[in-house]
């Protein structure tokens, strides 16, 4: 397990250009998306949706609003991670449904819903704040998908360099329901992987 993790950490890098003729087999693509689906999230809300753009014309339309980055159109599959908004509000059916999946008493489910509402009171006070919280969870799914991709020899590059509102318009999103959190183009590298540049362990970690 540790060896596999080490290999994944070494293999993953931000791929800047993909091989346009090399498509990810469905089995591996599904594996990567499923790693996102199974991610941890605060209160277990799973506040995400993954749009998988496979249509080349749509990728072309999105690219200008992503700093014209070549990853958008050269990738095999462009995963767009959306952050849930409206349904996360405490009084709604979705929140109830998410808590009710657990094998616990109705009393405890009600207590969880109350805790959720109280703890996230400020967070739920505006769609903008909900987006910030929801998108944070989406980044956990992003990370899991990047690592799952590396485990099956698929390259990726997290993309935050985009014009949010313009991409949302291209995708015709109802932004009261979902907003764009982050993107993940997936495919196969055409260039050698660069040497990883990182701060030192002791600079990053402090034992107290
Ligand atoms: C949330 C996030 C957003 C990023 N957005 C972009 C991006 O828009 N374009 C890009 O080329 N790289 C992007 N990156 C890649 C980072 O620049 C990269 O992870 C960092 O420089 C470390 O390099 P490595 O991933 O190859 O190890 C992003 C990374 C993360 C985690």
pLDDT value, residue 85: 98
**Cα maximum dimension of the chain:** 57
Burial of 140 (0-12, 13-18, 19+ CB in 10 A): middle
Residue 142: inside a domain, yes or no? yes
Q: Which atom of ligand 1 is nearest to the CA of 16?
A: 11
Strand, helix or coil for residue 185: strand
Which residues does the chain have with pLDDT short of 50?
A: none
Residue 146: inside a domain, yes or no? yes
pLDDT value, residue 63: 98
Residues whose beta carbon lies within 6 Å of some atom of ligand 1: 13-14, 16, 69, 157-161, 182, 196
pLDDT value, residue 157: 98
Number of domains in the chain: 1
Residue 5: inside a domain, yes or no? no
The model's pTM: 0.97
Burial of 125 (0-12, 13-18, 19+ CB in 10 A): exposed
Instruction: Yes or no: say if 12 and 154 are a contact pair by the CB < 8 Å rule.
Output: no
Show the domain range for 149. Answer: 13-86+135-195
7 vs 134: CA distance, rounded Å: 30
Residue 174: inside a domain, yes or no? yes
């Amino acid at each position: 397990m540790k060896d596999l993790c080490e290999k994944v950490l070494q293999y993953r890098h931000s791929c800047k250009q993909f091989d346009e003729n090399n498509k990810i087999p469905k089995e591996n693509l599904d594996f990567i998306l499923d790693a996102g689906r199974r991610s941890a999230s605060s209160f277990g809300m799973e506040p995400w949706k993954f749009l998988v753009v496979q249509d080349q014309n749509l990728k072309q339309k999105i690219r200008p609003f992503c700093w014209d980055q070549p990853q958008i159109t050269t990738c095999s599959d462009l995963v767009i991670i959306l952050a849930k908004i409206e349904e996360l509000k405490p009084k709604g059916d979705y929140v109830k449904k998410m808590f009710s999946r657990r094998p616990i008493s109705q009393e405890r489910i009600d207590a969880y819903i109350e805790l959720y509402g109280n703890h996230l009171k400020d967070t739920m006070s505006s769609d903008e704040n909900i987006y910030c919280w929801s998108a944070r969870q989406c980044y956990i799914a992003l990370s899991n998908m990047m690592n799952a991709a590396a485990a099956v020899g698929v390259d990726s590059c997290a993309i935050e360099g985009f014009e949010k509102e313009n991409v949302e318009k291209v995708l015709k999103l109802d932004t009261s329901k979902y907003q764009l959190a982050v993107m993940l183009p997936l495919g196969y590298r055409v260039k050698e992987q660069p040497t990883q540049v990182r701060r030192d362990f002791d600079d990053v970690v402090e034992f107290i």
